[in-house]
Amino acid sequence: MANIYGLIIGIAMGFLIQRVRASSPAVILQNLRLENLSIIKFMAMTIAVGMMVTYTLNLFIPNLLHFDIKPTYLLGVLLGGLIFGVGFGLGGYCPGTCVVGIGEGRRDAWFALGGGIVGTLVFTLVYTSVIQPIVAVMDFGRITVQDLLHVPAIVPALVIGVLFLVVIKLLPTEIKQA
Amino acid sequence: MNTTPAPLTAPNWAKLGVIFGFVGALSILLWGPIGVSGTYPRLIGEFFRAFDPSYAETNPYLVRMGSLLRPETFLVLGLVIGGFLGARRDVEKAPKVEMPHVVATSDARRYTEAFLAGFLILFGARLAGGCTSGLIISGMTQLSIAGFVFAAGVFATGIGTAKLMQALRAGN
């Protein structure tokens, strides 16, 4: 049953990514050049709504949600983000949007997917020699904002959620270039 | 000299973001947070299990990531269907090859860049333990510190690389 749910969530996600133009590398690059912030603001909106809805639900039906917090091994997470960003700025795809792009009929998306498979293969081959030492550094485990602040999760969920909504409201979507 | 086309901003990005927020929450309610990049090593795992089972059994990463038979794999299949269905609502078809940087290049160069970029995003995502969906969207939704750290890294070099590409191409 969970597999069926996964498929339905994936279809909805692919549809939304396509409709907001996040599967267009040109739109992603406009966002990363800070000429147009529609995708960055779309992501911030998703996260703000997601955290407020998820943690509000968790108040009413505790222990029913399937949370899965990823570990914060600081060096590896940051280094991974920095490497990811170079690829994101170079190609305009992420691991999911290139799959959406294939559904749309984009040929360059196949090359991004192929590069991703080769990248993952290389990662797997160097896992014990290169990756394991990196991810062992500064491993803080599965920590969250509420763990650090020692407050109930609903507090940072609402505060950060509202903060995101205010920033979304204040920032322009189209930025005029000099 | 070609320039990028007029902005393709979806006027309803805010509404789509609200819906995506509820979809992400629904996913956590039904089975777990959305995430894409973990499916790549599971695919590699299936490949080794078919052609070199002893390697698949001894590589700790492949053992940890496990089989493709799980909801995330079906989510990735759903992305293809969702992308296809979304594109049907557009009057104009998505371009086969899109030039994301300010000055266009040859198709071959774009394919090379897309391949190299694909390599980097997956290597980086697997190092960090997730990608845009698993760490930025789901991670920050669950208020995980890793999500915030990863997002900071992605946008630091993402914006830097985008600006650098613009400067390099404009200089040619």
Please state the three-class secondary structure of A31-66 as a single string.
HHCCCECHHHHHHHHHHHHHHHHHHHHHHHCCCCCC
Mutate to test the interface with A, among B120, B133, B136, B168 (most CBs of A within 10 A): B120
Q: What angle do CA B126, A35, A77 make, to 5 degrees?
A: 20
Contacts of A177 (CB under 8 A, 6+ apart): A35
Pairwise CB contact (< 8 Å): B98 & A25: yes
Q: What is the pLDDT of residues B17-27, one digit of tens each?
A: 999 999 999 99
Q: Which two tokens stand for residue B100?
A: 């994301």
d(C-alpha A116, C-alpha B119), whole Å: 4
- Counting residues of chain A whose pLDDT is more than 90, the rounded percentage is 97
B158, pLDDT greater than 90: yes
Q: What is the pLDDT of residues B91-115, one digit of tens each?
A: 888 999 999 998 889 999 999 999 9
| Residue type, position B134, single letter | G
Q: In chain B, which residue's Cα lies nearest the Cα of A130?
A: B127
Q: What angle do CA B80, B86, B91 make, to 5 degrees?
A: 130
Contact predicate B172/A170, CB 8 Å: no
B141, pLDDT greater than 50: yes
Please give the pLDDT value at position B102.
Answer: 86
Please give the pLDDT value at position B3.
Answer: 47
Q: In chain B, which residue's Cα lies nearest the Cα of A124?
A: B61
Which residue among A3, A19, A53 places its CB closest to the CB of B25? A53
Asked if B38 reaches chain A (Cβ–Cβ under 8 Å), the answer is: no
Interhelix angle A74-91/A25-32, rounded to 10 degrees, is: 120
Interhelix angle A2-19/B71-88, rounded to 10 degrees, is: 40
Q: Which two tokens stand for residue B111?
A: 């394919």
Banded pLDDT at B2 (limits 50, 70, 90): very low
pTM as predicted: 0.96
d(C-alpha A112, C-alpha A138), whole Å: 31
Contacts of B82 (CB under 8 A, 6+ apart): A10, A11, A12, A13, A14, A15, A16, A17, A18, A100, A103
Asked if B42 reaches chain A (Cβ–Cβ under 8 Å), the answer is: no
Q: Which two tokens stand for residue A150?
A: 């020692």
Map tokens 């040859």 to a residue. B106
Q: Which two tokens stand for residue A139?
A: 């491993």
What distance in Å separates residue B163's CA from the closest CA in chain A? 6
Residue range A59-67: average pLDDT? 96
Residue range A12-32: average pLDDT? 98
d(C-alpha B15, C-alpha A176), whole Å: 23
A66, pLDDT greater than 70: yes
Which residue among B36, B59, B142 places its CB closest to the CB of A127? B59
Pairwise CB contact (< 8 Å): B71 & A5: yes
Pairwise CB contact (< 8 Å): A25 & B100: yes
Pairwise CB contact (< 8 Å): A111 & B32: no
The full length of chain B comes to 172
What integer best gives the mean pLDDT of chain A? 97
Chain A CB contacts of B160 below 8 Å: 85, 89
Please give the pLDDT value at position B172.
Answer: 59
Question: B156 vs A32, A71, B151, B159, B167, CA distance in Å?
Answer: 10, 21, 8, 6, 17
Q: In chain A, which residue's Cα lies nearest the Cα of B41?
A: A120
